Every structure is written in structure tokens, then in C-alpha cells.
Structure 1
Amino acid sequence: MVSVGELREHLVAVRLAGTVATSRERSLRAYRLFAARDPRVLIGLDPERPWSARDVIELMADRCGVSADPLHTSGQDVIDPERTLAALDAFAERLAAVVRRRGTVLLGTGHPHRLLGFYAALADALSAAGCAVLTPAQGRCVDILTQFGLRTHHLDYVRGVALIREGGAGRPGGAPGAHTHSPLPVRTALAAAADAGGPLPELVVGDHGWVCGAGQLGFEAIGLADTDDPAPFVGQAEGRVAVVVPLDDGVRGAHYRPLARYVLNRACLSQ
């Protein structure tokens, strides 16, 4: 069991919160692109109202704890660990609710190199508690526009967690999947589930395009997001994303294990 105090210390020590690796310059660029409705930063969200860069800064200051001063343009971002802890509690409450009704869940990540273990621990616990962990569109092609042009990927599942692999099957001992912000994988998975006559997920758990794409389509969605990914937080502010946990999404995968243990304990899912 991980106590609140221990987890707070861990968050700051490994820079999941506190002073994080994400630069202020990178975050501000993302906020400007979001205000311009660049699809690379919207990642599946269609905002209901105009958002200026200043609006986004103020929202991210409220939800994450970054500086609200638009003249603060350099250095490293800061995430308030208290906001991270509060969001993890809300995240756990959503997991507990779906378990109480033995609901259906879809998990997916655009950050498999870092976050696969976190989501896989949740998938294992949810399945053991009687929830159906869905795996629709296994092996389905997904064409995603990358910085290198249009690339064909394939949807795959590892321990119940969806990810994409460029060109098909992963190599033994190789990377667990490709990094992506695209909402196309979750759209592909949800369309396949619907075409097959269901079941559809009662809860989608993920990051990047997984949480924004699902929330935009009206599914209950919860996830993790860094300070340079404003779309999930805007989705939460507009009521289409249920919970967003602010944290650095690029640290070593092992550093997320205490978070998984904490969430599972709070949701009464510890094994």
C-alpha cells in the first residue's frame, strides 16, 4: 500500500510532479497551436467555444499548477503534486464505479514506452474484478499522418491495453509500440465494436487521442496528461472528459508503478 505522503514524495522525487522535464517553451507553443485549432494539438477534441492562448494558460494554471503569467516564457514547467493527488483520487473513483456495475472498459495508450505498465496493471485488476476489458479491432490497419508522412500502423493489444505498431507486429524484445497523439486508433476500435454489435465501453481509460477521441464521441473517458497536452484539460473543462491527471508522461515506466498501486488501492482493486 502506498500512502498519500509517500506518493507525494515519489511524485516530486522522480519529477512526475513538482518541477518537471517539460519545458515552458514547449507548453506555450502547444497552447498557441491549440488556440489556432491545429489538429495535431486538438488530438480528437472539437472545442465548443473559442480558446485563446491566454485562456489555455489560465486553464492549465488552474488544473496543473503551471505559471499563469504569459510573460513567463522559459524554464521548466511545474505541476502541483496536490492537484495530481486529487485527480488520482477522482480517477480511482471512476474505476470503482465501473467495477461496482461490472462494466465494460477499453484501455489504450499513445505512450506505450512509458505508460503501458500503468494501464496494464489497471486492466489486470479490472478483469479480475469482473469487468470486461474490450479488445476490438485487433490487427486493424490505421493510417496516421506523422512527421514523416502517412504511415500505416496496426492496432494491437498487450495485456488488455491498446496501442499501435508501425508496419504490423512488434519485434521480439523490441519497442512495445509507437508513440502517437492521434485519435484514429480509438475511433477505429470504437467503430469496430459498434459494427460487431457491441459491447461498447462504459469507460475509456487512456491518454492523448484515446481520451480526447473517446470523450468527443460521448464516452466516459479518464486519463493522464502532461502540461504540453492542453486538449484533455479543455475536454474536462467543457464536460467531455471526466478526469484528467496532470503529470509528466515521459519519465521511466517503473516510476508509474506506485501510482497504479495507489489508484488500485483507492478503488478497492488491490490484488
Structure 2
Amino acid sequence: MAGKERNIKVVIDDVKKTYQGRTGEVVALNGVNLEIAENEFVTVVGPSGCGKSTLLNIIAGLLEPTSGRVVCNGVEVKGTGMDRGVVFQQYALFPWLTVKKNVMFPLNMKGIKGKEAEEAAMKYIRMVDLEKFCDHYPKELSGGMKQRVAIARAYAAEPEILLMDEPFGALDAQTRTQLQQDLLDTWEREQKTCFFITHDVDEALILGQRVIIMSARPGRIKDIVDIDIPYPRNQETKMSARFLELKNYIWGQVYQEYLEVRK
């Protein structure tokens, strides 16, 4: 984002999150500060238990910080809101609704009904290349297709900020690779502020403009790496010298934190 005027969409201001464990207070996050610009794609990596999902849930308004605050679009987050869309690893589709009606659901919640909602839903269904499956039910879809529906539904809500918590984590390698490319292509067409959590350094690098590296618990931001690899990107990008250089650096930082967890 260097060299461009930044319109800040998300401000994470000295966020701390604690909870009560079996043996006392557990500090999940401590002193997290971050700004995310409009239409920026930020990815987050770190060892298991470092608070990545906790941070996403605080931004989403699903959890309250113990101290500090999150501001989205200039307003302090006090709960969930239509300005933030969330895609989880679990597909969270309504099994009794077709693909089309699943994607129409957030539109209906915003008061958009009938043909207008249907046409808008079909735009996003076509975006994820599922037009032929618009009348299918979730049980009739593969895991990758279900996650594409979840992404289409999140986009259909027209949130200003898209929060994604390991959305491809449960998928096989081939499907995961294809969905990474689909998401890249979609983001380039439908510019959106994205906050994407992953355990996969390759995934973080291929998608993100910046990679946030989190420390072992208590989670804090250890490093922020600007990814100076131009878009459009594809799977061949992973073979470039710069990609491999960045991958080795980020993996080394994450592995150091993994060793801290094992102590």
C-alpha cells in the first residue's frame, strides 16, 4: 500500500483478550495494533492457539475485547453488523435452502426481495461459477462447491469488510489451490477489504498484500511483511524467486513461534 493514500477501513487499537482457564486467567491477545486500508487484502499466519481466530471474531463483533477497541468504517465495533461478512472453515449453509436461496438470504435480510434479490444472487453465483447448481441443495455439493457458495453469500451481503477464518482449511490440496485462484480472481474484480486467516504460508503469500505474523500466546503482532509481488497472481507465482524468498522468511518466523509453543 506504500505510495498510495490510505483510506483506513479497520483500526485495531491496543486489543487485549483474556479468558478464564482451568488454572487461572489466560491471555489470548495482548497489545494488538493494526490498520487495514480500504480494498486491502491482509493475510494472518501464526502457530495454533496464537489468537488469530479470536482476533477475527473480535473484528466481526462476535467477541468483545477485554480492553482496547476495534473501529470499522469510523465506528467502534459493539456487535455484529452488515458491514462485515464472515466466512468460516465450516460451510454454515442452510441445508433446507437451495444454492440460490442461500445466496439470497442476506439480501432478504436487507429488505431486498423477489426478482431483484434473485438477480443479485445470480450475479454472485455466476461469480463463483455455480450457475448450473443454483437449484441444488448443500447436501448435493462437494466441499469446495459449498465453500464457493459461502463466499458468494458473503459477497452478496455487500459487506465493506470480508473476514475469512481458514475457509479452505478442510479441503483437499487440489480444491484448495483452485479456490485460492478463484478468490484471487474475484478479489481483483470485486475489490473488497479482506482479512484472511490461514495456517498455510503459501496461501498467505499468494493471496495477501501484507502478511501479518502473530507470536505464540499471548498473541501479538510479531512482524508485518509487505508482499511486493504484483497482481495478477497465479499458481506459477509460487515458483518465482521472490515468492520463495518471502516464503522462507515468513516460515522461519512462524517456526520460531511454533518452537515457543512447544517449550
Structure 1 length normalisation: TM-score? Answer: 0.26
Structure richer in strand, relative to its length: 2
**TM-score, normalised by the number of residues in structure 2:** 0.27
